[in-house]
Structures are given as C-alpha cells and as structure tokens.
Structure 1
C-alpha cells in the first residue's frame, strides 16, 4: 500500500471553550467557585470586584434576586444576560502629575518601602505585640497522639520510661484504645535495653491517667472502669456501677435486665439509676479530641416565606460581584493589531465570557431551585413526612434541560430553608407504592419510621416486621428488609439493642 491523501466529510459534536467553561463552573461548589473567581481576578486585569459601598448598577443581573411567584413562575427580567455582559463601571483615574507629586524620585538612604508607605505586609502586627497570637491563626486540628505527647512532656519520667510511653501512644487508635497487646509492644524494643513486660504495664498505667479519661484502655470494660474510678468517691451508686461493669458487662450488653437484677440483687428502679450512671461515660474517649478540620457549608439558594408565598433567591453575599474594568477596556483599540492590544482584547473577551458563564450558572441554579420548591411545597409547609417522590428526570423536563445538567446543578449546592440547610440532592428520592395506587417518597417513609420508633415502648421496642405492619396499616406497602435498610440509614439500632428500662 502506498500513502495517499484522502478528503472525507463528516459530522462530530464538539464543545466550544466557552461551553466547557460554563459546564465546569456549573458543577463547582460555592467554596470552589469563590476560589475560581479569585484566580480569575488575579490573572485577568480586565476583571474587577465590586466593593461593598460602591454604586452598582441596579439593572445588573448579578445583583437581582429572583422571586418565586404564587403560580410557581420566577420574576426574571428579560435581557439580563446581555445587559450584564455590557455592564461596566468607571474606575477612578489618577493623573501622572499627581503620582509624581506623591512619590519622590529617590527614597532616603537606609530606608525601605515599608518605612514610607504602608503595605499589606507591614500592616501585620509585630511579633512583639502582646495581642498578636500566631498559634490562633496558624493552628490546625489537634490529633489524639499530639495531645497525649504534650501531656507526656509534662510528666517526670526516665528516658527508658519515656521511650516506652512514646511507643504505647503510637499504638493507641483514634478511639483511644490500645490496639497492640503488651507482649507485642515488648518486641518493638531493642533487646539490649533489657525492658521487661512489668515496666510496660507500669508506664501504661501512667498513660491511662492522662486526659481524656479512659484513654489507653485495652477493651471496653477497662475503659469504663478507668472512668468510674476517677469519679468522686461520694458519687451515688458508684460501687454498684463498678461491680456491674467489672462482672456483668456482657449481660448488660444483651439487655437482660431481669438477670441483672437477680445477680446484682437490685430492684428495677435501683438498676435503672446504676445504668444511668454508666451511660454518662464515654465508650470512645479518643473521639473527644477533634483532629479533622471543620467543614463549612455556604448556601447557594435561600428560601423564605413572605405573605404566604415561598420566595427563592440566590445568596449574593456568598458570591462576589464582578464587572469589566472600564478604564482598561477603554485602552483596547479595534484597528490595532500589536501584541499588547491583542493581549488586552483577548483578556477583555475572556472577562466577558467568564461573567456570562457566572450569569448562566446562576440562572440555571435559580430555575432548578424554583422547580424543587414548587414540587416539594409540602415539605416546606409540614416537614419530611410530606416529602414527595422526585427524580432528576422530573426537574429536567420542567426546566427543559438534560438530566446530566440537573445532576451537576444539584451536586454540592445547598439550600437554606426555615427547616435547616439541605443539599439540593436531599429533595430527590425514590418512591414506593401505596394501597390506593399512589406513591410515597422514601424520605417520608424514613420520617414516619423515625416517628414510630420515638413513640415505641422502650421495654418492648418495635421489630422491623412490626414496623412494616404499621406502615401497611397506613397504606404504605414496604417489605421488612426495606424497613431494615431505612432504619440502618437513620442510625437506629435493631429492636434487641433498643430495649431499655423505663
């Protein structure tokens, strides 16, 4: 075969850079979008942020709030997209002569720029300032190991004991329990150190006196006993609680209260008070030390009720207002093809497309949020039990978009409502059939299940089969395994573990 040139015609679907940018911004969360906007402001001189207090064009779509009318429509002004693209504002200009008067040609000898003019770096407090606390601005979440090591540094110990304590602390899991048996810990040390098992046991008891109380325990029984022994001696029912945890913890775990009363020789009311004392203890003492950084949620949409109408509006406080810098835009010359002018023209076009993509994102988010509120009006009025079945296809048909677009809009986007802050995906749920031929949302079934468990008799908790029967009596046909799945998703224990004394 010989190489040859062949001309073919065909069609293929391609995405323009503008469309790719719009899709990428659409799926970003609010925090990620703020970072994206800041990056655009840092790299594009044509973009600028509208500072608070400045006059902002009232017709700017970025400053408008869309309200949901009684009939479910949104009050959206036509032509907002084009107005926003062309909206620019004037920027204060400085004459070169003014700058020449303000900045001398030469600075005094042995001086720095910060000595004459204040900068962002020089505005920071000095290290000698008593009010300046570096740790409060740079510290992160503390781990359990670092918390224990800090206490270890304050404890008087020999070098050998400190080495043993450091090794034991490394073997403590985030829950506060010692994972490794002491004989295995002994194998971690050099035989030349001549460390014995009794020494490790003594050091472990020292660590078990650290905070949080109960840390360093090898099992749940030892953890609870450590906490009980550090309570004041005059604590009521303390001796009975120590005896119950030490000798009958397995019976308590099986919730066999009649057997406990016989073995402990206590009446029902006395046993209840002993168990109440034990329930004040922490079975996972290490969880008191928070090592993870807090996660913040910024709502994208705000829903509120005003004059018997549910209003939907964007959270403009979480979104910086952007505009095209009029001064820089005025430097662009149409007929000039120089490299500088071409760069400025490209930056101006990118700035306009970026603002247009943000506007498209907000409009799409408003459309989807408005339809969700319209469909789930019962939830906002009455709570989870009034939640209706909803899938992505329903919203996609209502707003005339593809399901993949709806999925991007509802991912990591949050709605602030009078009932709390919810991710948009929370309002989507599957359904089960009812006896009347209708449909019931799985979220509503979970709410009903939670309500039934809260009202059950603690001595005789409802089994999954009994809950399924009660739901069927309300016209909701749910299998027992479905009830178990919903119960586990709510973090509700089985009936055998929910049994307790009144």
Structure 2
C-alpha cells in the first residue's frame, strides 16, 4: 500500500494499530488536522486544538514519533558502495606516516620478452609500429608513476599541515587553501585541484576526502585565523549540548564563539549551520 505524502503515511500506520492503543484517536486527529502545528513546535496551540493537558500531549506526540516516516526503507534493496582510499594515514612511534594504497597503484611493467624481440627486430613497417606501441606503453607507466608520486606528495603536505586535526579532531582544523599546497610543492594550483578531486585518505577515524582539508577562514581576536571547518565543528558541539527546550539561536552561537575569540557574524553562523544540516533554533525546539 502506498501513501500520498508524509501525513498519509503516518495516518495509515495509526489506522493499523489496535483500537485499544492509548491516545490512538487523538494521534489520528493530530496527524490529519494539526501536523503543521506539530512541525512548528507550537505546544500551546496543540494543547488548545486537541483540548488536552501537557502530559497527555506528550503521550500523543510520543505515539506519533514511534511511527516510521519512511517505512519503505525496511524492504528497499540496495547494494552498498564502498570508497577505496588512495592513501593510508597512520601513526608509527608517535609520528604520522602517509603511504599509497597498493591496490590503486598496481606494479605495471612491459614484458621483457616482447620488448627484447622488438629491439632486436628489423626496421620493417610492422616492427616500427610495434616500437611506437612500446614507447607509448613506457610513457603510460611513467605517467602513472608520476601521478602516484604527486598524489603522495600532496597527501603528505596536507597531513604535515593538519597534524592538530589528526590529534584533536575537526575543531583543530587549520585554514588551508589549494594555493598553500601548490606553493610548497612548486606545482600549479590547477594541478593540486585535479589531484585532490574525488581522492580519499584512510585515517584512524574514517575515510575522508582530500577536499575536506581545504576551507576558508575567519579572523580571531588574537590576530590569528580559524578555519570554516573548525567553526562548523564548534557549532555542532554547541548544538549537541544545548537544552532541547531552549535551543541556541544563531546570535547566541555567534556570541559564544566570540567568547572563544572567533568573530563570526550571525548570518555566517546560519550559513554554516545549514551547510551541516542543522535546523534553525525554532525547528530544533522539542516538545518533549
């Protein structure tokens, strides 16, 4: 059986419950008539519309929350997709090391038997053609080695600049742009962009895309810089520990960051918050 929308989905699930289920009728009324008020977290209005006490409303909402807004997921069949990291980052003897993943850098070589035959053969048209193919094969292998060498150099440069991130997490991420790596390795910025696109590192805390390490920055009161990644981590940390009944507004979060010496405008907080899929304070406010 299919549902037309979220409201219909919840209604159908409630209808399947036993009539003896506590607060079933009121939960149905809430879903059918006042779902928008529930989404707005307007507890007082819900109590008035349903003519119930605060305690009863809590029970009704608990019943609605026990429903599955996406029941199709339990029968959905999908194959898991795995990311194969290009580099492995690990700590040995207190020192961070970066190595290529051997699975993405297979050892290729030209068969010496055939290359020897080509070198000893005459200058016939067929053999000249084979010599050209041999040269192309050598260039191809050389290009792969060059690509892997550049990838490893870029990875090591990134990790050398982000040791604090490895030790303390996203809050310690330093501001860094492509140009910083390009200048250090004496490569063009476009080369760094190409090398870091859809490339991944395997770290002790998971697989992370190269691009994650690059972010803009804001100034601190001490005259330093704080990366956008670190600011997003601060926002996540503050929201995770807030009082659900009185969630932090963007202005309050900006004030708390200012106390840490990080000067961020309220609208910037809103932008970062939305980027990490954190709802506004009014949407985060819980009725229970």
Note whether the superposition's TM-score is higher than 0.5: yes
- Consecutive unaligned residues of structure 1, counting only runs of 5 or more, are 1-209
Distance 1:289-1:396 versus aligned 2 partners, 3 A rule: farther
TM-superposed CA distance for 1:469, in Å, is 1.0
| Structural mapping, 1:23-62, within 5 Å | none
User: 2: distance between equivalents of 1:390 and 1:344?
Assistant: 48
Partners of 2:105 and 2:148 within 8 A in 1: no
Higher Rg:
1
Q: TM-score, normalised by structure 2?
A: 0.92
Of 122, 127, 132, the residue aligned with 1:346 is: 132
Residue by residue over 1:286-320, the C-alpha shift from the partner in whole angstroms, topping out at 9 and shown as x without a partner, is 66675877543210001011211111000002333
| Equivalence for 1:438 | 224
Distance 1:289-1:478 versus aligned 2 partners, 3 A rule: farther
| Equivalence for 1:314 | 100
Partners of 2:177 and 2:214 within 8 A in 1: yes
User: 1: distance between equivalents of 2:102 and 2:22?
Assistant: 56
Partners of 2:121 and 2:127 within 8 A in 1: no
User: 2: distance between equivalents of 1:266 and 1:366?
Assistant: 64
Are residues 1:244 and 2:30 paired?
yes
Which is further off, 454-463 or 378-387? 454-463
User: 2: distance between equivalents of 1:236 and 1:427?
Assistant: 51
User: 2: distance between equivalents of 1:387 and 1:371?
Assistant: 14
| Equivalence for 1:489 | 275
User: 1: distance between equivalents of 2:9 and 2:167?
Assistant: 46
Distance 1:421-1:232 versus aligned 2 partners, 3 A rule: farther
User: 1: distance between equivalents of 2:139 and 2:18?
Assistant: 69
User: 2: distance between equivalents of 1:403 and 1:256?
Assistant: 51
Are residues 1:216 and 2:28 paired?
no
TM-superposed CA distance for 1:473, in Å, is 1.2
Of 373, 379, 387, the residue aligned with 2:173 is: 387
| Structural mapping, 1:331-370, within 5 Å | 331-334=117-120, 336-370=122-156
Q: Which structure shows the bigger proportion of residues in helix conformation?
A: 2
Distance 1:216-1:243 versus aligned 2 partners, 3 A rule: closer
Q: What secondary structure, in the 3-state scheme, does the structure 2 residue paired with 1:343 have?
A: helix
Task: Tell me how large the CA RMSD over aligned residues is.
Answer: 2.0
Partners of 2:254 and 2:266 within 8 A in 1: yes
TM-superposed CA distance for 1:334, in Å, is 4.9
Distance 1:500-1:351 versus aligned 2 partners, 3 A rule: same
Q: Which has the higher contact order (CA 8 A, sep 6+)?
A: 1
User: 1: distance between equivalents of 2:131 and 2:116?
Assistant: 10
User: 1: distance between equivalents of 2:94 and 2:53?
Assistant: 56
User: 2: distance between equivalents of 1:319 and 1:267?
Assistant: 66
Q: What secondary structure, in the 3-state scheme, does the structure 1 residue paired with 2:141 have?
A: helix
User: 1: distance between equivalents of 2:119 and 2:261?
Assistant: 72
| Structural mapping, 1:88-167, within 5 Å | none
TM-superposed CA distance for 1:220, in Å, is 3.5
TM-superposed CA distance for 1:441, in Å, is 0.3
User: 1: distance between equivalents of 2:17 and 2:68?
Assistant: 13
Are residues 1:422 and 2:224 paired?
no
| Equivalence for 1:272 | 58
Residue by residue over 1:155-187, the C-alpha shift from the partner in whole angstroms, topping out at 9 and shown as x without a partner, is xxxxxxxxxxxxxxxxxxxxxxxxxxxxxxxxx
Q: What secondary structure, in the 3-state scheme, does the structure 2 residue paired with 1:228 have?
A: helix
Q: How many residues matched?
A: 288
User: 1: distance between equivalents of 2:10 and 2:232?
Assistant: 34
TM-superposed CA distance for 1:279, in Å, is 2.1
| Equivalence for 2:244 | 458
Of 71, 82, 106, the residue aligned with 1:296 is: 82
- Consecutive unaligned residues of structure 2, counting only runs of 5 or more, are none
Are residues 1:281 and 2:54 paired?
no
Q: TM-score, normalised by structure 1?
A: 0.54
| Equivalence for 1:471 | 257
User: 2: distance between equivalents of 1:289 and 1:403?
Assistant: 47
Residue by residue over 1:40-98, the C-alpha shift from the partner in whole angstroms, topping out at 9 and shown as x without a partner, is xxxxxxxxxxxxxxxxxxxxxxxxxxxxxxxxxxxxxxxxxxxxxxxxxxxxxxxxxxx
| Equivalence for 1:501 | 287
TM-superposed CA distance for 1:248, in Å, is 2.4
Partners of 2:41 and 2:287 within 8 A in 1: no
| Equivalence for 1:184 | none
